[in-house]
Amino acid sequence: MSTYNQLELSRRELLISSAATVVVTGTAASSAAAQPAGDDMKFTTPVAFTVNGERRELEVDNRTTLLDALREHLHLTGTKKGCDHGQCGACTVIVDGHRINSCLTLAVMHGGDEITTIEGLGQPGNLHPMQAAFVKHDGFQCGYCTPGQICSSIAVLEEIKADIPSHVTADLTGPAKLTAAEVRERMSGNICRCGAYSNILDAISEVGGFEV
Ligand code: FES
Ligand code: FES
């Protein structure tokens, strides 16, 4: 059971610590007041990168995703916004040779990068072989997921060529094999609500040169 002196000590310590809290809080409040407010605060940053071979310079809100920078600032609307949460792959673009979900990354993180969107792969009359294969094999219905599917497909073939293993690669010591199972696994982040998966696989197999 506590003695009177122990209780008295506790009370005194409590008062001291309360006073210290007031001092710290007061300091924090005055330092917050010293921050610039409203129009004085800087929320934008200049960023320059190359998109489809062309240097582009932007001043963007720091929170702007690469996807929004492409669509809203550069008006490259081929790249689609599906979920905006990294779960559908509709926003896939190729950055410095690697596919990424452009909705999951900030534009200001890509200064100096080389970005390729569906517009940079080919044009009507001069399609990229993967675009032509998607057309030939009916690898789409509504087409909304298609730009992301095509960017991913091209990057997938490069990943396999570079011996980058996937979750289904059985032999991690040998060269990665170009098989339907590998491609299915690697394309699993690209969702097609129309269910054109088998035709997409046919298109990739034609370009990649493997049997389905
Ligand atoms: Fe980026 Fe769905 S919009 S993954
Ligand atoms: Fe419609 Fe894939 S073609 S979502």
Task: List pLDDT tens digits, range 67-94.
Answer: 999 999 999 999 999 999 999 999 999 9
Is residue 81 domain-shared with residue 97, that is, in the same domain?
yes
Q: How many angstroms separate the alpha carbon of residue 89 from the centre of ligand 1?
A: 5
Is the beta carbon of 140 within 6 A of some atom in ligand 2?
yes
Is residue 103 domain-shared with residue 166, that is, in the same domain?
no
Reported as a single tens digit per residue, the pLDDT across 114-154 is 999 999 999 999 999 999 999 999 999 999 999 999 999 99
Q: pTM of the entire structure? A: 0.81
Q: How many angstroms separate the alpha carbon of residue 149 from the centre of ligand 2?
A: 9
Is residue 96 domain-shared with residue 128, that is, in the same domain?
no
Site of tokens 């389905």: 212
Is residue 72 domain-shared with residue 96, that is, in the same domain?
yes
97, 120, 143: which is the final residue of a domain?
120
Please give the pLDDT value at position 53.
98
120, 149, 172: which is the final residue of a domain?
120
Q: How many angstroms separate the alpha carbon of residue 142 from the centre of ligand 2?
A: 5
Q: Is residue 37 part of a domain?
A: no
The CA distances from residue 206 to 15, 142, 149, 200, in Å, are 78, 22, 15, 10
Which residues, 6 or more positions from 28, have their beta carbon under 8 angstroms from its beta carbon? none
CA dihedral 110, 116, 119, 123 (to 10 degrees): 160
CA nearest ligand 2 atom 2, residue? 192
- Say whether pLDDT at 164 is over 60: yes
Which atom in ligand 2 lies closest to the alpha carbon of residue 194?
A: 1
Is the beta carbon of 196 within 6 A of some atom in ligand 2?
yes
Q: How far apart are CA 93 and CA 103, in angstroms?
A: 10
**For the chain, how many structural domains are there in total?**
2
Average pLDDT over residues 26-44: 59
197-208 and 129-136 helices, crossing angle to 10°: 140
CA dihedral 201, 203, 143, 119 (to 10 degrees): 130
Which atom in ligand 1 lies closest to the alpha carbon of residue 103?
A: 1
Site of tokens 């570079």: 162
**Ligand 1 pocket residues where CB is under 6 Å:** 81-84, 86-91, 101, 103
Is residue 73 domain-shared with residue 132, that is, in the same domain?
no
Helices (H) and strands (E) in the chain, counts: 7, 5
Q: Is residue 208 part of a domain?
A: yes
Mutate to test the pocket of ligand 1, among 70, 77, 84, 95 (most ligand atoms within 8 A of CB): 84
Domain that holds residue 165: 122-212
Is residue 190 domain-shared with residue 210, that is, in the same domain?
yes
For residue 47, what is the domain's CATH number? Answer: 3.10.20.30
Is residue 101 domain-shared with residue 139, that is, in the same domain?
no
Q: Is residue 112 part of a domain?
A: yes
> Within 10 A of 180 (CB to CB), how many other CB atoms are there?
15
Q: Counting ligands in written order, which one lies closest to the CA of residue 90?
A: 1
Q: Tell me, what amino acid is at 144?
A: Y
Q: Is residue 144 part of a domain?
A: yes
101, 120, 139: which is the final residue of a domain?
120
